[in-house]
A = this chain, B = another copy of it.
């Protein structure tokens, strides 16, 4: 796991033209899982008419003196203003024919780039609470879209998104990354919601609670929610030390 650092400030400003990072930024709001997408509008240079208008993930070339993790953190920072966000490298994409659709080639040409120059891109995903983000990005239009409504994206970004989502789900099943989405003190219903929304399943409340009750690093407080218009829930904290210490490496092969 990489944490965003202030690499944005320290990296030299010479781009490596062969390698980029792409960030799949997942946003969670207890209702659905969304992904942050950037509008791509191509207008005819003569008439000004819109030739196409679609969506991309966000990415950028790495700087020559910049670590991959740092580049991903920078891309995330540029788009969201957020630092120290959970970021995970999941796969590198490097097919020589990554860019083959005519729209994509035209767009690259219009931006002074050679569509035949293959770029290797290292895929990262991050996971954050949607409402931590104020969308505003250098005049370009940025939007959240529920992951299951994304039907097409520019370049090979749909494939990248699908791989990212699969990696995120795998990770969520085996490591406590969901806590990044919660306030320090949270309720079990909130925790359950994370699993339900991200995995796209529904879970039985009683069985869920029985399961997490076994986890020593989930510490109940003598404290309750306040100001809710129903029975207030008990609050819990995640004890990372306890987790690291007792993390039994689970041997349970399902072949």
Contact = CB atoms under 8 A, between A and B. Distances in A.
A195 B89 contact: no
A253 B254 CA distance: 13
Chain A interface size band reads 35 or more
A94 B19 contact: yes
A154 interface: no
* Copies assembled: 2
Given A19-B19, A67-B96, A96-B67, A215 B255 contact: yes
A92 to B, nearest CB: 4
B92 A172 contact: no
Interface in A79-97: 89, 91-96
Contacts of A128: none
Contact of A172 (B120, B174, B253): B253
Closest 9 interchain pairs by CB? Answer: A68-B94, A18-B18, A92-B92, A173-B253, A176-B255, A65-B96, A92-B122, A19-B120, A67-B95
Nearest to A123: B92
Interface of A: 16, 18-19, 62, 64-68, 89, 91-96, 118, 120, 122, 172-176, 178, 195, 199, 201, 212, 215, 250-255
B16 A199 contact: no
Nearest to A247: B254
A95 B120 CA distance: 15
A171 to B, nearest CB: 10
A178 B255 contact: yes
Contacts of A255: 174-176, 178, 212, 215
A122 B94 contact: yes
A174 B173 CA distance: 12
A173 B18 contact: no
